[in-house]
Amino acid sequence: MNYEDMEYGRVVYGYANDGYYTAMGLSSDGTRVQGNIPAGSAVFTQTATLKEKETFDVGMRAEEVQEPVRSTDLALYIAPEAGKRGVETGGIHDELQLMAVPSEEASMEFDLAHDGVKWMNDNGEPEIFAVRDGGRYSLLSAIDREGTIGVGVSLPEAGMYSIGIPEDCEAGDYEYVILKDAVTGKAADLKEGAYSFRTAEAGVAEGRFTLSFKRMDADQRHDIYVKSGMGKATVFGVADGDAVTVVTVDGKIVATEEATGNEVAFVLARGAYLFKVAGADGRTTVVKAMVR
């Protein structure tokens, strides 16, 4: 049998000839069970010792352990609104880790070495996870930086909660991180601050939130910027032939112009916008700005 299928069982294994082998399995009633652990499966194991404590030394090159880093470069947390980020009041929070990569490097397949399955708990804490093809994940290492990903939450009770980017997360490579709420119809750029929402009941919600983002290209044109005021926004640094598109944070295109000089002006309603500049050289630059 697959030892992973045992309920509260134990597996005794050994190491010989540069490999691990399963020596014996014990079911929950103490009977021996013959089986194996297939590649990609996992079991819990326990090691007994007569000592009061054990110390394990792990050797790593000095440059690899100079300072801790995240497995991925974008993370989201969920916390009760009363203890936003879990800092001020010691509120409990959970995190989801993601990495956006170029479309040609993205993968929809689960990578055992780099991705993580979400293990749900039952201890009354709010949880957050990525949703893809019916699976729940705590870590995805190769999602399309031009795409979207479903975000699920498990909420222990009715009330107010916040979803945001942790303070120690380096999300500087992302131009925007947009969270859309299908229940309220709202969209928020989490780089500007956490998004607060209310739930009328406890439970798991897998279809309420989606996340979209844009990671900066290494060759993005940094001379392009936007100035706004009094219902007007002007994009500077463009060149003849550049296509400038204005998009709301929830993805609606509101204006498109072709540049005939080094600036393009738009009359817009108050709100947050993304200004996408597609250059004749093939480079696309996105700048976010508020119109007041």
Query: How far apart are the C-alpha atoms of 209 and 188, rounded to whole Å?
Result: 11
In a domain, 119, yes or no: yes
**Last residue in a domain, options 165, 185, 215:** 215
Co-location of 78 and 196 in the same domain? yes
> Domain tally for the chain?
3
62: Cα separation from own chain's centroid: 29
Nearest of 193, 149, 188, 130 to residue 167 by alpha carbon: 193
Co-location of 249 and 193 in the same domain? no
Co-location of 263 and 135 in the same domain? no
Structural domain boundaries enclosing 35: 1-48
Co-location of 131 and 22 in the same domain? no
Co-location of 17 and 112 in the same domain? no
pLDDT at 87: 43
Q: Which of 100-109, 133-142, 208-217 has the highest mean pLDDT?
A: 133-142
- Answer for the pair 149, 177: CB distance below 8 angstroms, yes or no: no
pLDDT at 85: 46
Co-location of 198 and 236 in the same domain? no
Co-location of 81 and 191 in the same domain? yes
Amino acid occupying residue 281 = D
In a domain, 100, yes or no: yes
Average pLDDT over residues 249-258: 87
**Last residue in a domain, options 164, 197, 215:** 215
pTM attached to this predicted model: 0.57
